[in-house]
Structure 1
Amino acid sequence: MTLMWVALGAMTIVGVLIIILPVLNFRPKQELSGDVINAMVFKDRLKELDQDLIDGRIVQSEYDQLKQELELTLLSDVGVSELGRRRGQGGKWMIWPVVLLVPAAAFLVYWTEGYHPELKEWFSTEQRMQRVMPMMMAGNFEAVEKEDIGVDDFIRALQRQLQSNPEDDQGWYLLGVSYLQVQMPQQSELAFSRALGLSPNNVDYVLGFTQATLAANGGNMTPEIRRTLEQVMRAQPDNPKPYMTMGMAMFQDGDFKSAIHVWELYLNREQVDPRAAELLQRSIEVARNEMAQSSGATQEVAAGPEVVVTVDVSDEVKANLNPTDVLFIYAKAANGPPMPLAVVRQPVSGWPVSATLNDNNAMTPAMTLSKFKEVVVQARISPSGNAIPQSGDWSAEPFPLTVSEGSHRVELNIHSRLP
């Protein structure tokens, strides 16, 4: 922010100098003054009178009278010339009003037309990002979480950093991870491919690219993806990421038994990561419950909470919608990670629209609606289909909700547009 004010001050000084320097350096053209011309005319005329007197064309009395009239005319012309010269030297009084008015006018125009409160907020976020980026690069994610920076701000900061340093493979990797969090698999795949191009033997980059390819492929695991994950398992058997990725792909494909088998392969190892083990245990419980429901087992499965959301739009919004626009209905933790706990994505259709948010439409088994008590329910229409809110999107007012067992009903009205 300080740099911006310094730049504005420098620009103002330059603008003032551009205006006043020509005034200060102005010099009139070097032409003969009126006094010199009048004197020359007087001498020529006086010579003519002398010659007329010598030649006898006029008498002495006429000569004296004409000479007196010529002298009076010269004095009158000199007075007019002096007055014009005084008037011509009076323009420099405008310098000081210009010096004062130009900065004042520039500041007024900037404050009324160029300044927006969002700029101050962005500069504040940018300062925090300068503090956070080294921590993120060093892997200190706990410190990053305390800064409370949204994924969209983090993505913008990474994009800016990579513009100045496109050879930063870790930056491309973090950008790919961020794109995955906001459900932008194609962009994530491109970011991971850039990271792999710079460091092709990095296993984390290989896994990131595989996860992005899975997401872009609708969660369907191709033989090539399976071979890649198996190669990583053999190369790094204690790394939980390939087990988690492969099991999740099988889970989304409905092969719950195979997913449990892959996850248990990691849990049965001697050295396991405690956080990964806890996440996989929860995933195995969810997969077993899904198996019980799909097989018609009599084992009772606890029903999680659900939120039935009804979304309507104002007449202004309805008049500006296109068939290609995408409606997002989702719930996020009121005090937690920015990733949605449950999300429904569908094309715009007849209004009002109803959707049910529950654990079945969670993005990951570890981040579900039933694991948080305080959530925020939102609805947004994106003309671009982008999961990240952008300028021009239509949005409803966020609805805070305390989640408990059973069904909850929420009504949202989309009526405002993001600036």
Structure 2
Amino acid sequence: MTLFWLTGAALAVLALVLVLRPLLAQRAGGPVSRTAANISIYRDQLRELEGDLAAGTLAQADYERARAELEARLLEDVREQPAPAARPAGWLPVIATVALVPVVALVVYFAVGNPAALVRQPEAHISPQQVEAMVQRLADKMRANPNDIEGWKLLGRSYAALGRFDQAVDAFAKAAAGAPRDPDLLADFADVLAMARDQKLDGEPEKLVRRALELDPNHLKSLALAGTAAYERKDYAAAAAYWQRMLPNVQPGSEDARVIQQNVNEARALAGIGGEAAKPQAPKAAQASKAAVRGTVTLSPQLKSKASPDDTVYVFARAAEGPPLPLAIARTRVRDLPYSFQLDDSMAMNPAMNLSAFPKVVVTARVSKSGNAAPQAGDLQGASGPVANDAGAVNIVIDSQVR
């Protein structure tokens, strides 16, 4: 498992280049070429080791040790690459994207099998079914290695990216049991627990956030979540205080600082403090986003006999060209069909992967027999063609069965 996570970490850094490319307006160039050269050298040296092992001139234990050293050097080489010049993308999208890197690393690791294949096929399409299979393989690994905390964290983030929040909660609970003093883990745990509870942070999720802040009073995600929890219960003064504490930890004058300050001002105005005389202005992020897809989901008469009234129906949007992860998701029951839906940025599982980030999306409606968002044989589904991320009157007919 050590070699798996070492290689996975290296791949995560490589995958980050691909994931961040749509967010950072820059040309791919030097860093990727240098990575390719490092991997090429690594493969040559690994082949030499394998040849020596096959020839009997190298003992198995020496081979394993030398291979581990090679992979460690590769990881360090990748980590030490200078970052290419780019416009600042802001901490919200970058932190959110980094949170997805383990999922992307998982996809790359299982999909291509080795770093060289990643360089050869940087644009390889990975289907949702393949992602599901990869996550299942990781889940199988975890059953055989239940004490692997990093594995549970990766599995939890993978489940969350797929919208399987109940399973994400179980995975994060196992990770937190082994690492109860990890603020990053506690914040992620709180996040998925809130998602599993209809996006409500009150109760246990907020307790996890407070524990994270006890361990690290300046933890950005925990401060953001704590402020959101306070805002939801209309404790605007507390929300402003939490968000104010974020400001010293972001670059002064940056877009992040401006957005956070505007949210602080909004909360202070609602609380009646700080001398705000004007009508509170909506946070900048909310103002800028007009992405919202609206429409209706119906079930084909030919398939009604295959669905039960209590079956879960998921309605979600994915990028027409981009990663297969959902950008926004809603949930209802078969009994409520026809169902009028609206998908917008507030329903995103990740701030960096939302409708506003992709001009064209495909909306899918799926009747899940198991209750999971992941497709399984026997589920019923229908999908739109590519539509604008602010399209209205998108009509989806659930008219096919997953095989």
Shorter-chain TM-score range: 0.5 to 0.7
* Matched residue type, 2:142: L
What is the letter of the counterpart of residue 172 of structure 1?
W
The answer on whether the counterparts of 1:169 and 1:198 sit within 8 Å (CA) in structure 2 is yes
Identify which of 205, 226, 234 aligns with 1:246.
226
Structure 2 residue aligned with 1:32: none
Q: Which has the larger radius of gyration?
A: 1
Q: Which residue, 366, 371, 385 being the options, matches 2:371?
A: 385
The equivalent of 1:142 in structure 2 is 16
Partner of 1:408: 392
* In structure 2, distance between residues paired with 1:280 and 1:351: 43
Paired-residue identity, %: 30
Sort the Cα spacing of 1:392 and 1:386 in 2 relative to 1 into closer, same or farther, 3 A: same
The residue type equivalent to 2:347 in the other structure is N
**Contact between 1:394 and 1:415, CA under 8 Å: does it hold in 2?**
yes
Task: State the secondary structure of the residue aligned to 2:386.
Answer: strand
Q: 2:221 is paired with a residue of what secondary structure?
A: helix
Partners of 2:260 and 2:354 lie apart in 1 by 11
Query: What one-letter code is carried by the residue in structure 2 that aligns with 1:317?
Result: L
* 1:228-264 alpha-carbon deviations (Å, 9 max, x no partner): 4334324323432211332343455565664454233
SS of residue matched to 1:191: helix
In the alignment, which residue of structure 2 is the partner of 1:157?
137
**Alignment RMSD:** 3.9
1:217 alignment partner in structure 2: 197
Shift of 1:195: 1.7
Whole-angstrom CA distance in 2 between matches of 1:222 and 1:303:
26
Counterpart-to-counterpart distance in 2, 1:385 and 1:280:
40
Q: Distance in 2 between matches of 1:307 and 1:254?
A: 28
TM-score by length of 2: 0.58
Q: Write the distance in 2 (CA, Å) between the matches of 1:131 and 1:287.
A: 43
**Is 1:192 the counterpart of 2:178 in the alignment?**
no
Helix, strand or coil at the partner of 2:154: helix
Mapping of residues 164-203 of structure 1, within 5 Å: 164-203=144-183
**1:280-307: CA deviations, max 9, x gaps?**
86577679789999x9949695671432
Code of the aligned partner of 1:192: F
Identify the match of residue 348 of structure 2 among 349, 362, 369: 362
Q: More deviation in 375-384 or 151-160? A: 151-160
C-alpha change, 1:254 and 1:311, in structure 2 (3 Å) is: farther
Q: CA deviation at 1:191?
A: 1.0
Distance 1:213 1:362 in 2: 15
- Paired residue for 2:96? none
Q: Deviations over 1:49-88 (max 9, x none)?
A: xxxxxxxxxxxxxxxxxxxxxxxxxxxxxxxxxxxxxxxx
Equivalent residue, structure 2, for 1:372: 358
- State the partner residue of 1:320: 306
Normalized against structure 1, the TM-score is what? 0.56
CA contact (8 A) 1:380 1:414 kept: yes
- Equivalent residues in 2 for 1:17-416, closer than 5 Å: 134-136=7-9, 139-140=12-13, 141-142=15-16, 144=105, 149=126, 150=128, 151-222=131-202, 225-251=205-231, 253=233, 258-269=238-249, 272=250, 297=279, 301=287, 304-349=290-335, 351-403=337-389, 407-416=391-400
SS in 2 for 1:332: strand
Identify if the C-alpha distance between structure 1 residues 303 and 155 changes in structure 2 by more than 3 Å, giving closer, same or farther. closer
Q: What's the CA shift for 1:389?
A: 1.7
CA contact (8 A) 1:256 1:288 kept: no
8 Å contact 1:251–1:287 — kept in the other structure?
Answer: no
What's the offset of the Cα at 1:217?
A: 3.5
For 2:329, the aligned partner's letter is: V
**Cα distance change of structure 1 residues 239 and 347 upon mapping to structure 2, 3 Å threshold:** same
User: How many residue pairs were aligned?
Assistant: 284
Q: What amino acid maps onto 2:340 in structure 1?
A: S
Larger RCO (CA under 8 A, 6+ residues apart): 2
Letter in 1 for 2:139: Q
Question: What letter matches 1:412 in structure 2?
Answer: I
Between the aligned partners of 1:334 and 1:371, the Cα distance in structure 2 is: 11
Report if aligned partners of 2:190, 2:206 keep a CA contact under 8 Å in 1.
no
In the alignment, is the contact (CA less than 8 A) between 1:376 and 1:398 conserved in 2?
A: yes
User: Residue 377 of structure 2 aligns to a residue in which SS?
Assistant: coil
Letter in 2 for 1:134: T
- Flag structure 2 segments of 5+ consecutive residues without an equivalent: 18-104, 109-121, 273-277
